[in-house]
Amino acid sequence: MYGLIGYPLGHSFSAQYFTEKFLREGLDECYKLFPIKDINSLSELVDGNKTLNGLNVTIPYKQAVIPFLDKISGDASEIGAVNVIRISRSKSAAKTHLSGYNTDWKGFIESLEPMLHPHVKKALILGSGGASKAVVYGLKKRGIKPLIVSRSKNSGDMTYDDIDKTIMSEHLLIVNTTPLGMFPETEAYPDIPYNFLTPDHICYDLIYNPEQTEFMRKSAAMGAEVKNGLEMLHIQAELSWKIWNAHSE
């Protein structure tokens, strides 16, 4: 058994994706949603489900889960966020070993790559949570300079009030890593000056439910190229599957 932890999980397509994968490939596996209200209940969840071999991690636990892990990968450590947990058990299932990984950054970069042009040198990253950290890590590896926008300057490089025409014109990639606009609150959107967007801009939303967010709609209305996070979900899900089924750490 595999699953997803986070709260709430009404927006997630992960269970649907893996269920269809298992049916398509003839695998006798299952994937469940575990909407836990408190990360402290992780140990109880793992101990209470002896056939649970792996978990994905989503909002709001990508950073909070780290102290509960026995080991984390180098990139997850550098990012400071985990979205995949591999659960190894002793033969008696009395002892468990939790290893944390991050596949978000690879999923994001692989999904973004076909849209990138040589003139994209800088990016505005909306949000400063666990998903934001993975995006920043991936962009730096790709040679694109990220600027983090948050509600507070304590969390990011700048606030939304600081974004002006010059900032928008210099940052041709804008990535929404916040949950603003995610189902069921689909009318919400990040407060940026959309009127400064141009056809040279790429606006990428990590949200995939709904298929087109208000952020994407408002950006597309200004001619910007837009994309949601569904392909990123699929790529990181396949990377998760490889981690869960690897023969060794």
HEC profile of the chain: CEEEEECCCCCCCHHHHHHHHHHHHCCCCCEEEEECCCHHHHHHHHHHCCCCCEEEECCCCCCCCHHHCCEECHHHHHHCCCCEEEEEECCCCCCEEEEEECCHHHHHHHHHHHHCCCCCCEEEEECCCHHHHHHHHHHHHCCCEEEEEECCCCCCCEEHHHCCHHHHHHCCEEEECCCCCCCCCCCCCCCCCHHHCCCCCEEEECCCCCCCCHHHHHHHCCCCEEECCHHHHHHHHHHHHHHHCCCCC
Whether residue 16 has pLDDT greater than 50: yes
Whether residue 156 has pLDDT greater than 90: no
> Which of the four pLDDT bands, split at 50, 70 and 90, describes residue 30?
very high
Count of beta carbons in the 10 Å neighbourhood of residue 149: 30
**CA–CA gap between residue 112 and residue 59 (Å, rounded):** 21
> Which of the four pLDDT bands, split at 50, 70 and 90, describes residue 246?
confident
Percentage of residues of the chain with pLDDT beyond 70: 98
**CA–CA gap between residue 141 and residue 216 (Å, rounded):** 25
91 vs 229, residue with greater confidence = 229
Whether residue 92 has pLDDT greater than 80: no
**CA–CA gap between residue 102 and residue 86 (Å, rounded):** 11
140-162 mean pLDDT: 93
CB proximity list for 190: less than 8 A, separation 6 or greater: 126, 127, 160, 176, 178, 180, 181, 215
35 vs 246, residue with greater confidence = 35
Taking CB atoms within 8 Å and a gap of at least 24, the contacts of 144-151 are 144/120, 144/173, 145/121, 146/122, 147/122, 147/123, 147/171, 149/124, 149/125, 149/192
List residues with catalytic annotation. 62
pLDDT of residue 153: 84
Whether residue 93 has pLDDT greater than 80: no
75-102 mean pLDDT: 92
Whether residue 151 has pLDDT greater than 70: yes
Whether residue 248 has pLDDT greater than 60: no
Whether residue 95 has pLDDT greater than 90: no
To 10 degrees, what angle do helices 104-112 and 130-141 make? 50
Q: For residue 97, what are the β-bridge partners?
A: 88
Whether residue 152 has pLDDT greater than 90: no
**Strand 54-57 vs strand 84-89: parallel, antiparallel, or unpaired?**
antiparallel
pLDDT of residue 167: 98
234 vs 247, residue with greater confidence = 234
pLDDT of residue 249: 43
106-122 mean pLDDT: 96
178-196 mean pLDDT: 97
